[in-house]
Amino acid sequence: MAAGWLRHLAGDAVEVRSAGSAPKDQINPVAVEAMREVGIDITGNVPHLLDTEDVRAGDAVITMGCGDACPIFPGKRYEDWDLPDPAGQSIEVVRQVRDEIRGRVEKLIGELQVS
């Protein structure tokens, strides 16, 4: 959902890479529905394993409970967003997570001075 928001709000001003330390084989269908409700289609996203190149290429690395499984490189901006995992949650909970993510993405865009 974070990648969907970032692409939607920042457009071509940023390159978005989305990965996980233990990705599932598909995107959470409830998250897909929650994002569809706000006009964002994330069905084309494919979960993939976070690798060192993803981190090395980024200016900012946003994790959500990645812990020690995420590679660390000096000089990168790291944030861990402590949010409920939407997996297995109701649409109501996923909507709350979606909206919290939007606020955090908007703040990040402002802090990075993306235009």
Alpha helices in 38-79 (DSSP H): 52-57
Other Cβ atoms less than 10 A from the Cβ of 101: the count is 24
The ranges of the chain with pLDDT < 70 are 66-69, 115
Place of tokens 């919290």: 100
User: Can you read off the two tokens belonging to residue 84?
Assistant: 């409920």
Is 11 in a helix, a strand, or coil? helix
CATH architecture of the domain 2-107 equals 3-Layer(aba) Sandwich (3.40)
User: Can you read off the two tokens belonging to residue 60?
Assistant: 């900012």
Total number of residues shown for the chain: 115
Which pLDDT score, from 0 to 100, does residue 44 have? 86
Spatial contact of 62 and 44, defined as CB atoms under 8 Å apart: no
Other Cβ atoms less than 10 A from the Cβ of 12: the count is 6
Which pLDDT score, from 0 to 100, does residue 73 have? 77
State which amino acid sits at residue 23. Answer: P
Say how far apart CA 90 and CA 111 lie, in whole Å: 32
- Residue pLDDT, tens place only, 43-65: 988 878 878 887 888 888 888 87
Place of tokens 């901006």: 77
* pTM for this model (two decimals): 0.87
